[in-house]
Amino acid sequence: MALDNVRDMSLSRTAMKAELLDAETELRLAYAWRDERDEAALHRLITAYMRLAISMASKFKRYGAPMNDLIQEAGLGLMKAADKFDPDRGVRFSTYAVWWIKASIQDYVMRNWSMVRTGSTSSQKSLFFNMRRVQARLERESAAAGETLDKHQLRQMISTEIGVPLHDVEMMEGRLSGSDYSLNATQSVDDEGREWIDALEDDSAQAAETVEHSHDTEQLREWLLLSLNALNERERFIVRERKLRDAPRTLESLGQELSLSKERVRQLEAAAFTKMRKSLEMQSREVHHFLV
């Protein structure tokens, strides 16, 4: 724990020393990453706003998750924001990133705080992060007014305040007030009693499903290779660079390499996909005819 605190403080100090980007610089870096996949621009953008991610992560410490993990999740949210950010929309990156950072942290907290007590819908997420706060405020206000709320009235007011169905409030109240039990606990007091985990259904793929999936995957792979072979060399290059790379290239960068306009590259890409689609349809018909 002490080492975690040292790492947290070191990371926070590093983030606080990072540069503050003005709107023009931020926009230039965003364009460099979106259009050219400039990793140096991405690193500079992420580093500049890591202080924002750390600040938001610190607000979730009360849920008991390690601060180091919260910061890591906040950083992942920041990277997702950078990858999906569209500088043409005229919004500051920091404003856009806040939503992704918060969503990433909240998903992590809900996955790890209790797999049994919480849910994953937007309604359940709103309740998990806001119900106790809203409930405490409503109780304070009613006490100040000299009123007493029964449980049903309080649940209805929470439902209205947060904007979720009443039955979701009742369900989350039960989950938050209940206790977690180990799946390795025995079902009876006997030492030889079966553990609760033994009663869970095995949802892993069965042998037949595994073999069938493997066969279908291999068949699809063969079809895709055949459809790629139906293309000329330039078309195969465009499809490979646009769809088969971990980091797909932009039409603009391909146009520069091929000495073509961006629109011409898009046309060639569309034509290649049309050829591949016809090839796949032909192969599918042949298999159907064989089976019939």
Q: How far apart are CA 69 and CA 92, in angstroms?
A: 27
CATH number, domain 212-291: 1.10.10.10
Residues near 67 by Cβ (< 8 Å), separated by ≥ 6?
4, 5, 8, 57, 58, 61
The per-residue pLDDT for 291 is 41
Nearest to 12 by CA among 61, 94, 68: 68
Which pTM was predicted? 0.44
Q: How far apart are CA 266 and CA 225, in angstroms?
A: 22
Domain boundaries, the chain: 2-113, 117-177, 212-291
Cβ atoms of 275 and 227 closer than 8 Å: yes
The per-residue pLDDT for 11 is 59
CATH number, domain 2-113: 1.20.120.1810
Cβ atoms of 228 and 244 closer than 8 Å: no
Q: How far apart are CA 254 and CA 210, in angstroms?
A: 39
Q: How far apart are CA 33 and CA 75, in angstroms?
A: 17
Cα-Cα-Cα-Cα dihedral sign, residues 137, 143, 144, 145: positive
Q: Which residues pair with 195 in a beta bridge?
A: 186
Query: What does the radius of gyration of the chain's CA atoms come to, in whole angstroms?
Result: 27
Parts of the chain with a pLDDT under 50:
1-7, 115-118, 191, 199, 201, 287-292
**Comparing 2-113 with 212-291, is the CATH topology the same?**
no
Q: How far is CA 211 from CA 191, 218, 222, in A?
A: 40, 11, 17
**How far from the centroid of its chain's Cα atoms is residue 77's Cα?**
8
- Show the beta-strand stretches assigned E in the chain: none
The per-residue pLDDT for 116 is 42
Residues near 167 by Cβ (< 8 Å), separated by ≥ 6?
none
CB atoms within 10 A of CB 222: 11
The per-residue pLDDT for 81 is 92
End-to-end CA distance of the chain: 66
The per-residue pLDDT for 13 is 67
Q: Which residues pair with 186 in a beta bridge?
A: 195
